[in-house]
Chains A and B, each alone.
Chain A
Amino acid sequence: DQQVKQNSPSLSVQEGRISILNCDYTNSMFDYFLWYKKYPAEGPTFLISISSIKDKNEDGRFTVFLNKSAKHLSLHIVPSQPGDSAVYFCAASGGTSGTYKYIFGTGTRLKVLA
């Protein structure tokens, strides 16, 4: 049972435009969410996080939105740059999974076209 789902395996966006990556979760007890970026042959690197007490968190070009009622979060990248091309994973923790155990989605491969 996939508790964290990223239904779009891939996404292509023109340089300078907005990239929107989506993530859905099923466990209403999740209360902390993170986005990671992964380049080939490297480990995931942290991008941005949000706790369930907020509905938006912004860091430079990256903004994460959380819709608790829909159990949905999204990552917006504006403007997109070729260096943003990578696989993006969302992850969630909380509830019976524990505050330390992150459940990851399957990832979305973003390609930013120059």
Chain B
Amino acid sequence: GAGVSQSPRYKVAKRGQDVALRCDPISGHVSLFWYQQALGQGPEFLTYFQNEAQLDKSGLPSDRFFAERPEGSVSTLKIQRTQQEDSAVYLCASSPLISAGELFFGEGSRLTVL
């Protein structure tokens, strides 16, 4: 399809494992965002890319979280040494704009850390 694609849709990890979540944005979209949504909460900003440049990573909760978008298209969110509090849905969104405008969200990757 032509929308934002995320994989895997569901991931179960044992505490201490590393995980990688992939986002394939809409082709040509300049901006890419990662959000974390805990149960019963709204999405919380993690990081923002404009093309391949990571312009804001102020929302990453710890240095165990790392995101990249090396060629300005596909992005990967990596979480090292996962902990139970990392359990959440990780949403990726893209936008054709570099400022305010509609974000197009993927379906999310639900991470459960046991």
Contact = CB atoms under 8 A, between A and B. Distances in A.
A41 B48 contact: no
B98 interface: yes
Interface in A35-88: 36, 41-46, 49, 51
Interface residues on B, range: 20 to 34
Interface of B: 4, 31, 33, 35, 40-45, 48, 55-56, 91, 93, 95, 98-108
Closest 3 pairs between A and B when the two form their complex, measured CB to CB: A43-B105, A104-B42, A32-B100
26 contacts: A6-B42, A34-B103, A41-B107, A43-B93, A43-B105, A43-B107, A43-B108, A45-B105, A49-B101, A49-B102, A51-B100, A91-B42, A93-B100, A98-B56, A100-B31, A100-B48, A100-B99, A100-B100, A101-B45, A103-B45, A104-B42, A104-B43, A104-B44, A106-B40, A106-B41, A107-B42
